[in-house]
């Protein structure tokens, strides 16, 4: 870029751009995603992406609903008409965030991503590492599920927006230092799946084992047999709605209690340095123990802790399975 002064060169470098002065020009090496550098497309930009994606979609949808679009004649092919109809909503969404960006730069000297990182993402990620915050998130997922709402999906904006960047930061730390010691975050996105959702929300794999061993009710055992193969791979809608657990007062206490207890156990093991923090993204259908082993980069002890939590869940679920034996089977 010809005619770029020293101040602009420093500004480019501050944004993570590989810029080198060469005589009267500046050579820019584009090696990452976009001119902003990896700081805007990695963990640091995830929270901003979620916010901007949500708000821009709302702007687009509202303008389309109110038909603030370019209307083409009826003889125009639908594909062409739809493309023109999207121009005004799309441009408005782009310009809204372009204006917001300029306001942020002019007023605060920082881009929106930097402001969001500093005032929203960083405080939330700090709070998320508190033991009680991890337990609360686990509890809220269960509470929502009890009323028939998909707890993980309802809590996804917080879980994905806060705990996923934590996981990515841990991964970046490992790639740089090649060790799990000193990782910045204890509890990340995969921690909940690895230690507190084996068999699905509620650690229902422990419930299935208890049912197959202790249940004397034919209807409950049939549901357990049908749900067991899927439960191994963390799919538990058949047991949640088939038993059912939703709105069932018999299973309310263990349903709300098991995941927070498992979260507490795994959190203490992690804080104590016995197992490393989760820093590898793993498909959620991985069976108990294997998920934790892979998510911690091959820690056998992490897999053992997951199995310990499964045993704890079995012990908590068993008394309520025995209690269910006393209730009348519905014909």
Does some domain include residue 16? yes
Does some domain include residue 12? yes
Give the integer Cα–Cα distance in Å for 48 and 100: 13
What are the beta bridge partners of residue 28? Answer: 19
- Same domain, yes or no, for 30 and 166? no
| 120, 144, 172 - which closes a domain | 120
Structural domain of residue 98, as residue ranges?
42-120
- Same domain, yes or no, for 96 and 154? no
> Going by C-beta distance under 8 Å and a sequence separation of 6 or more, which residues neighbour residue 264?
131, 135
Does some domain include residue 266? yes
Does some domain include residue 330? no
Does some domain include residue 26? yes
pLDDT for position 17? 52
pLDDT for position 35? 46
How many helices (H) and strands (E) are present in the chain, helices listed first?
Answer: 17, 2
- Same domain, yes or no, for 111 and 52? yes
> Going by C-beta distance under 8 Å and a sequence separation of 6 or more, which residues neighbour residue 327?
217, 250
pLDDT for position 331? 42
Q: Where are the alpha helices (DSSP H) in 66-163?
A: 78-85, 87-108, 112-116, 122-128, 131-146, 151-154, 156-158
- Same domain, yes or no, for 98 and 138? no
The answer to whether the bond into 106 is cis (omega within 30° of 0) is: no
Does some domain include residue 57? yes
Give the integer Cα–Cα distance in Å for 257 and 316: 8
pLDDT for position 18? 53
Q: What ranges make up the beta strands (E) of 236-293? A: none
- Same domain, yes or no, for 76 and 203? no
Does some domain include residue 331? no
- Same domain, yes or no, for 202 and 317? yes
pLDDT for position 101? 87
Give the integer Cα–Cα distance in Å for 259 and 196: 5
pLDDT for position 188? 92
Give the integer Cα–Cα distance in Å for 40 and 43: 8
- Same domain, yes or no, for 85 and 147? no
- Same domain, yes or no, for 231 and 248? yes
Give the integer Cα–Cα distance in Å for 181 and 177: 9
- Taking CA atoms, 175 is separated from 169, 171, 206, 297, in Å, by 10, 6, 35, 12
0.85 exceeded by pTM = no
Give the integer Cα–Cα distance in Å for 164 and 162: 6
- Same domain, yes or no, for 307 and 264? yes
Give the integer Cα–Cα distance in Å for 220 and 212: 9
Show the low-confidence residues of the chain (pLDDT under 70). Answer: 1-44, 46, 121-122, 124, 328-331
Report the domain count for the chain.
3
- Taking CA atoms, 157 is separated from 118, 232, 295, in Å, by 18, 27, 22
**pLDDT digits 0-9 by tens, 30-51:** 444 444 555 566 656 767 777 8
- Same domain, yes or no, for 88 and 136? no
Q: How many Cβ atoms sit within 10 Å of the Cβ of residue 284? A: 16
- Same domain, yes or no, for 231 and 214? yes
What are the beta bridge partners of residue 20? Answer: 27
Does some domain include residue 295? yes
112, 40 contact by CB (below 8 A)? no
- Same domain, yes or no, for 175 and 281? yes
Exposed/middle/buried for residue 248 (C-beta within 10 Å: 0-12, 13-18, 19+):
middle
pLDDT for position 118? 74
| 120, 146, 168 - which closes a domain | 120
């Amino acid at each position: 870029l010809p005619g770029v002064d020293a101040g602009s060169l420093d500004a480019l470098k501050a944004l993570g751009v590989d810029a080198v002065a060469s005589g009267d020009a500046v050579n820019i090496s584009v090696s990452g995603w976009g001119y902003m550098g990896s700081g805007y497309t990695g963990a640091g930009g995830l929270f901003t992406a979620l916010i901007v994606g949500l708000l821009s979609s709302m702007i687009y949808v509202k303008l389309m609903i109110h038909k603030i679009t370019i209307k083409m004649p009826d003889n125009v092919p639908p594909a062409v008409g739809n493309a023109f109809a999207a121009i005004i909503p799309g441009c408005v969404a782009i310009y809204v965030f372009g204006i917001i960006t300029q306001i942020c730069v002019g007023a605060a000297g920082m881009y929106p991503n930097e402001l969001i990182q500093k005032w929203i993402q960083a405080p939330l990620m700090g709070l998320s590492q508190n033991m009680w915050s991890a337990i609360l998130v686990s509890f809220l997922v269960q509470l929502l599920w009890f009323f028939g709402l998909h707890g993980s999906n309802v809590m996804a904006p917080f879980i994905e927006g806060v705990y996923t960047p934590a996981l990515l930061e841990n991964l970046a730390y490992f790639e740089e230092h090649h060790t799990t010691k000193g990782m910045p975050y204890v509890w990340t996105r995969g921690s909940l799946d690895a230690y507190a959702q084996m068999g699905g929300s509620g650690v229902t794999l422990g419930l299935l084992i208890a049912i197959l061993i202790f249940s004397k009710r034919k209807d409950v055992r049939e549901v357990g047999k049908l749900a067991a193969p899927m439960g191994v791979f963390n799919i538990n809608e058949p047991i949640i709605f088939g038993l059912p657990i939703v709105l069932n007062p018999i299973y309310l206490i263990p349903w709300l209690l098991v995941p927070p207890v498992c979260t507490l156990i795994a959190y203490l093991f992690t804080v104590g340095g016995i197992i490393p923090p989760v820093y590898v993204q793993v498909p959620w259908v991985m069976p108990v123990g294997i998920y934790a082993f892979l998510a911690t980069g091959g820690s056998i002890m992490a897999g053992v802790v997951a199995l310990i939590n499964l045993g704890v869940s079995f012990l908590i679920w068993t008394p309520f399975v025995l209690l269910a034996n006393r209730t009348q089977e519905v014909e």
